[in-house]
DNA sequence: TATTGTTATACTCTATAACTATA
DNA sequence: TATAGTTATAGAGTATAACAATA
C-alpha cells in the first residue's frame, strides 16, 4: 500500500474493520429476530436475486456449512425459500419469499438509523469519502 | 446518510464490513500463533501505549470479559504484560513486552502482504479513496 | 455503595470431516 | 470420480451474571 505513506495503514484498517464488525453484530433489532449475518445475507439476496448455496457462501465469505445454518434460520423465519436448480439436481437455489421483501422494506428505516446517527457526526466531505469508499471496500473483498 | 443517495447504502456498508471481517479472521499467520483479535489488540497497544483493561475493551468494542480472555492469550505468548495502575488499585495496566515490539516489527511486512495483494487490483484513485476513508471509519466506530 | 477486573457459563459463528445425492 | 449440499462435531469469540478487590 505504497500510497498510504503509513507503515501501519494495513494494520489500522484491519483493526477498524474488526471493531466495526463487532459494533454491527452487537446491535440487534430486538423485536425482529434478525442477526447481522441474516441481515447481510438477506440484503445480498435482495440486491442480487436468487443464488445457489455455494454462490451465497462465497459472497458472504464463509464456507457452505456456515451459510447452510444461516439459510436454515431464515427459512424457519419464513424469509427465504429453497427451490430446485433448473438444470442441475445437485444445486439448490436460495431466494427471498414475498414476505421477506416486505419485511426488508419495513426494516430499512430502522436499520439505517445506525448509520444515520453516526453520520450526524461526519462532515459533508467525510460522508462523501465514505460513499466513495464503499465500492473500494467491495473490491477489496472480491 | 442523505448524501449517499442510495437507499441501500447503510445495508451494503454493513454487509461489506462483515464480509471483510470474515476474510480478515480467516487469514492466520500459521507459524505465528496470532489470531486477528490478538493482532488488533497488539496494534492498538503499539499505537496508543499501555491502557487499562476497560480502556482496551472499549477500544476493541468488546466487553471486559472478552478482552480479559484475549489479554490472557497474549500474556501466555509473552507479548503483553499486566502491571498495577499507579494510583488506582482496582485498575490494571496492559502493555506490550519488549519481545512484542520486536515481533510486531518482524511481522509487519507479512501482515501487510494481505493489503498489498489486494491493492494491486486498485487504481491510484481507489487507493487514495481507501486511505482517506480510514479516518472516517475510525470516526464511525467511536 | 460504586467501580474494576476476573471467573463461570452459555450461546453464536465458523470451520473441517464425513455423508448423501446428483453429474 | 467429481461436485453440491447437509449433518456432525469441535473450536473461537462473545456476552451476561456472579464474584472479589479496591475506591
- pLDDT per 10-residue tile (average), chain A, 142 residues: 68 96 85 86 96 98 98 96 98 96 81 85 96 97 92
**Rounded CA separation A131/A57 (Å):** 26
Three-state SS letters, A87-116:
CCCCCEEEEECHHHHHHHHHHHHHHHHHHH
Q: What's the residue count for chain B? A: 142
- Give me the pLDDT at residue A63, please: 98
The answer to whether the Cβ–Cβ distance between A133 and B138 falls below 8 Å is no
Residues ≥6 apart with Cβ < 8 Å to B58: none
**Rounded CA separation B137/B142 (Å):** 9
The answer to whether the Cβ–Cβ distance between A122 and B133 falls below 8 Å is no
Beta bridge partners of B93: B52, B83
Beta bridge partners of B95: B81
A106 touches chain B (CB under 8 A): no
Cell 427451490 locates to A83
Nearest residue: Cα versus C1' of D8:
A65
Contact A60, B19 (CB under 8 A): yes
The answer to whether the Cβ–Cβ distance between B112 and A11 falls below 8 Å is yes
A39 touches chain B (CB under 8 A): yes
The answer to whether the Cβ–Cβ distance between A40 and B14 falls below 8 Å is yes
**Rounded CA separation A11/A19 (Å):** 12
Three-state SS letters, chain B:
CHHHCCCCHHHHHHHHHHHHHHHHHHCCCCCCCCCHHHHHHHHHHHHHCCEEHHHHHHHCCCCHHHHHHHHHHHHHCCCEEEEECCCCCCCEEEEECHHHHHHHHHHHHHHHHHHHHHHCCCCHHHHHHHHHHHHHHHHHHC
Q: Does residue B65 reach within 7 angstroms of strand C, measured from its CB?
A: yes
Cα dihedral value B69, B72, B78, B84, nearest 10: 120
Residues of B in contact with A131 (CB under 8 A): 1, 3-4, 6, 9
The arrangement of strands across the sheet holding B80-84 comes to: B51-52, B92-96, B80-84
Q: What are phi and psi of A86, to 5 degrees?
A: -60, -35
Residues of chain B with pLDDT under 70: 1-5, 29-32
Interface A–B counts its CB contacts (< 8 A) at 206
Crossing angle for the helix pair A53-60 and A36-48, nearest 10 degrees?
120
Minimum-distance CB partner of B24 among A17, A59, A136:
A17
A114 touches chain B (CB under 8 A): yes
B116 touches chain A (CB under 8 A): yes
Residues ≥6 apart with Cβ < 8 Å to B128: A3
Residue of B nearest to A38 (CA): B15
Q: Does residue A41 reach within 7 angstroms of strand C, measured from its CB?
A: no
User: How big is the CA angle at B50 (ends B45 and B56), to the nearest 5 degrees?
Assistant: 65
Interface test with A, best of B4, B16, B67 (most A CBs within 10 A): B16
Minimum-distance CB partner of B3 among A23, A131, A140:
A131
- Give me the pLDDT at residue A103, please: 86
- Give me the pLDDT at residue A40, please: 96
Amino acid at each position: 500500500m505504497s500510497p498510504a505513506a503509513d507503515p501501519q495503514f494495513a494494520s489500522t484498517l484491519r483493526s477498524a474493520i474488526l471493531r466495526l464488525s463487532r459494533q454491527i453484530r452487537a446491535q440487534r433489532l430486538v423485536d425482529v429476530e434478525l442477526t447481522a449475518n441474516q441481515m447481510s445475507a438477506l440484503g445480498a439476496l435482495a440486491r442480487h436475486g436468487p443464488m445457489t448455496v455455494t454462490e451465497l457462501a462465497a459472497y458472504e465469505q464463509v464456507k457452505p456449512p456456515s451459510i447452510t445454518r444461516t439459510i436454515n434460520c431464515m427459512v424457519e423465519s419464513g424469509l427465504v425459500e429453497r427451490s430446485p436448480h433448473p438444470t442441475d439436481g445437485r444445486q439448490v437455489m436460495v431466494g427471498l419469499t414475498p414476505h421477506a421483501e416486505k419485511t426488508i422494506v419495513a426494516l430499512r428505516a430502522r436499520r439505517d438509523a445506525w448509520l444515520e446517527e453516526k453520520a450526524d457526526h461526519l462532515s459533508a466531505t467525510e460522508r462523501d469519502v465514505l460513499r466513495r469508499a464503499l465500492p473500494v471496500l467491495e473490491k477489496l473483498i472480491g
